[in-house]
Amino acid sequence: MQNLSIKNSYNKTISVIESCKTENQLEGASRMVKNFKTLYKKVGYPKALSYSLDRALKNILGSLSNTH
């Protein structure tokens, strides 16, 4: 059950990141990533998820920077 909750939260966070069209939205997504890490750090989530979320944020930030 716990793994399903982590997976659902991870998938939702990735969806939010990928939907960002502005830097303000990306800031909100960044806060969501921080909240995810804080919440699931207590229960021990796979570090690969953390790296994946950070990489997704970085990729979207790069694509937003290229459109300005």
What is the structure's pLDDT at 64? 85
Q: How confident is the model at residue 59 (pLDDT cuts 50, 70, 90)?
A: very high
Nearest-angstrom CA–CA distance, 25 and 33 = 13
For the beta carbon of residue 55, count every other beta carbon within 10 angstroms.
11
Domain boundaries of the chain, sorted by first residue: 37-68
What is the structure's pLDDT at 68? 57
Q: What is the pTM of this model?
A: 0.85
Q: 66, 43 in Cβ contact below 8 A? A: no
For residue range 12-50, list pLDDT tens digits in order: 999 999 999 999 999 999 999 999 999 888 888 888 999
